[in-house]
């Protein structure tokens, strides 16, 4: 590893890959530090009993360096990715340009609006070759969902997706096989993930990617710029690398933790705004299950998500999809049934934060590799996934040296949860089936999110946020943030298009700042 670059980028997901490409195009030397490994088509884990290859490390299992980083934080459960390409490896490929009303919230800086982001949305759409699922593809689950929405009087749209539908996208890659494994890592290379698009182009221009490199903190470098402290996870060797500019793009959880460690632990960035960690959002993610539909849905045929239903006519606004997976995963989920705890909901909350090691052991022992029961027909089931505008009031901080989120989500977002649950119940009724919220919600009254946002907000001043409208950390020139942590509110739509457009804008500012 060289010791000095023009730009050091921490993280290789949407923000990191976009930053790497745009700065490489500007003629800068670029290093990308990524904690996870590099995956090629066919490399993604499928044997869930090999838990160390499936799950990322937790305090009692540091040797676990898998694809999924699952955390049971005090106020919320989170899922993120670990690997070259970041969240793009396991997301559902959905890119939605949110309604203009999202940016009317006063927490967004005045410089940001749907109109001002439009050129950057266009850039992302071009690079990722976005297009909806072709109407020519016969997808029963899409047809049933749309018929239900029509009877409910709800509008739908088929969102653009980062998927190659009809032509092989390159050597060793195939077009979409309609196998519903988008969120497990595409073994066929049909997803236009960041490692296959932005990052591949950056590497072709000379950018260097260092996988399995875990960053601990950042400090100003004696000669100017910043020094990034990291560990090689293969050898255990500790290293430093310097950049005239540093872009933190380790995802919402990773970036905020890095800034907290640097400000409050190592005390190397003491002037980071006191607003750091404030305003975390789970983007209103809420999960439920639909079982016993009157007809075969063929849930495992097609991409995971094909159509979005709108509930944006009144507050609190949200959108709803049916999220589906391959046949083995669907059978396991169906076999869990739909337990309803009634007045005993929330009884498990004291055990919530201890579940990480429990989940690891459950996978390793094969308890989640086969159905617990075969009484439910998996072909007549699907998952319901709502994405809404929560109040973005989570508080991120370090507890015992690790990141935590404190948030009374159920109390502060009761109306949103109530409206989402009612919508899911109505969808299930249209299917002739039954609905139940995710069992973890019933047991613990904690939501699970795959869309962590906030904690290092864009703002016009350090009194209102952590980074400027150009993504530069207040009081620390040359240090930037370009990922979901800068987003100051819930989006209420799949957020990756917004994150990516904002990252494009920030990358432009970094390049112009040299």
Tens digit of pLDDT for each residue in 357-389?
999 999 999 988 888 889 999 999 999 999 999
Three-class SS state of 222: coil
Q: What's the pLDDT at 342?
A: 76
Q: What's the pLDDT at 273?
A: 98
The one-character DSSP state at 455 is S
The bridge status of strand 30-33 relative to strand 68-72 is: unpaired
Is the pLDDT confidence value at 289 over 80? yes
- Grade residue 432 by pLDDT with cuts at 50, 70 and 90: very high
Is the pLDDT confidence value at 398 over 90? yes
Mean pLDDT of the chain: 96
Task: Give the percent of the chain with pLDDT over 90.
Answer: 91
Q: What's the pLDDT at 467?
A: 98
Q: What's the pLDDT at 59?
A: 61
Place of tokens 């790497």: 20
The bridge status of strand 208-210 relative to strand 30-33 is: parallel
* Burial class of residue 235, CB neighbours in 10 A (0-12, 13-18, 19+): exposed
pLDDT, tens digit (0-9, with 9 covering 90-100), for 236-264: 999 999 999 999 999 999 999 999 999 99
Q: What's the pLDDT at 1?
A: 67
CA-nearest of 447, 139, 443, 436 to 290 is 436
pLDDT, tens digit (0-9, with 9 covering 90-100), for 168-186: 888 889 999 999 999 999 9
Q: State the sign of the Cα–Cα–Cα–Cα dihedral 364, 365, 366, 367.
A: negative
* Residue 74 contacts residue 406 (beta carbons within 8 Å): yes
Average pLDDT value for residue range 191-196 = 98
Is the pLDDT confidence value at 58 over 70? no
CA-nearest of 203, 254, 202 to 230 is 254
Q: What's the pLDDT at 310?
A: 98
- Grade residue 308 by pLDDT with cuts at 50, 70 and 90: very high
Segment holding 245, helix H or strand E: strand 238-248
Average pLDDT value for residue range 436-450 = 94
Place of tokens 């195009």: 25
* Residue 435 contacts residue 288 (beta carbons within 8 Å): yes
Is the pLDDT confidence value at 488 over 90? yes
């Amino acid at each position: 590893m060289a010791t000095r670059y023009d730009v050091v980028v921490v993280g290789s997901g949407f923000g990191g890959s976009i930053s790497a490409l745009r700065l490489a195009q500007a003629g800068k030397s670029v290093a990308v530090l990524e904690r996870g490994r590099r995956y090629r088509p066919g490399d993604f884990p499928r044997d869930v009993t090999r838990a160390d290859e499936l799950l990322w490390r937790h305090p009692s299992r540091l040797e676990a360096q898998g694809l999924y980083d699952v955390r049971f934080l005090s106020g919320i459960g989170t899922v993120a990715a670990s690997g070259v390409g970041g969240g793009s490896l396991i997301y559902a490929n959905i890119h939605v340009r949110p309604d203009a009303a999202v940016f009317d919230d006063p927490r967004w800086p005045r410089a940001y609006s749907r109109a001002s982001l439009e050129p950057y949305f266009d850039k992302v759409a071009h690079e990722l070759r976005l297009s909806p699922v072709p109407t020519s593809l016969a997808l029963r689950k899409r047809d049933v969902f749309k018929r239900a929405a029509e009877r409910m009087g709800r509008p739908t749209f088929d969102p653009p997706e980062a998927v190659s539908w009809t032509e092989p996208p390159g050597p060793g890659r195939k077009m979409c096989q309609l196998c519903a494994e988008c969120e497990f890592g595409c073994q066929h290379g049909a997803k236009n993930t960041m490692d296959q698009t932005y990052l591949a182009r950056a590497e072709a221009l000379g950018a260097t990617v260092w996988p399995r490199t875990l960053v601990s903190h950042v400090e100003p470098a004696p000669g100017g710029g910043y020094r990034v402290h990291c560990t090689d996870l293969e050898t255990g060797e500790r290293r430093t690398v310097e950049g005239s500019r540093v872009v933190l793009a380790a995802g919402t959880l990773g970036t905020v933790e890095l800034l907290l460690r640097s400000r409050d632990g190592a005390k190397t960035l003491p002037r980071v705004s006191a607003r750091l960690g404030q305003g975390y959002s789970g983007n209103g993610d809420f999960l439920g299950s639909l079982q016993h539909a009157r007809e075969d849905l063929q849930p495992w045929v097609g991409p995971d998500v094909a159509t979005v239903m709108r509930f944006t006519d009144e507050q609190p606004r949200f959108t709803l999809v049916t999220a589906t997976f391959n046949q083995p995963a669907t059978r396991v989920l169906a076999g869990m049934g739909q337990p309803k705890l009634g007045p005993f909901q929330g009884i498990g909350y004291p055990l919530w934060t201890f579940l990480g090691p429990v989940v690891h052991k459950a996978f390793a022992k094969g308890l989640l590799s086969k159905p617990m029961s075969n009484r439910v027909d998996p072909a007549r089931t699907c998952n319901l996934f709502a994405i809404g505008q929560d109040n973005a009031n989570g508080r991120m901080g370090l507890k015992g040296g690790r990141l935590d989120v404190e948030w009374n989500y159920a109390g502060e977002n009761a109306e949103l949860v109530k409206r989402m649950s009612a919508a899911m119940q109505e969808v299930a009724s249209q299917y002739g089936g039954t609905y139940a919220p995710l069992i973890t919600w019933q047991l613990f009254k904690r939501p699970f999110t795959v869309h962590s946002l906030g904690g290092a907000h864009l703002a016009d001043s350090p009194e209102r946020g952590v980074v400027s409208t150009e993504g530069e950390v207040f009081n620390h020139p040359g240090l930037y943030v370009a990922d979901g942590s800068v987003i100051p509110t819930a989006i209420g739509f799949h957020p990756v298009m917004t994150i990516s457009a904002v990252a494009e804008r920030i990358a432009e500012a970094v390049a112009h700042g040299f």
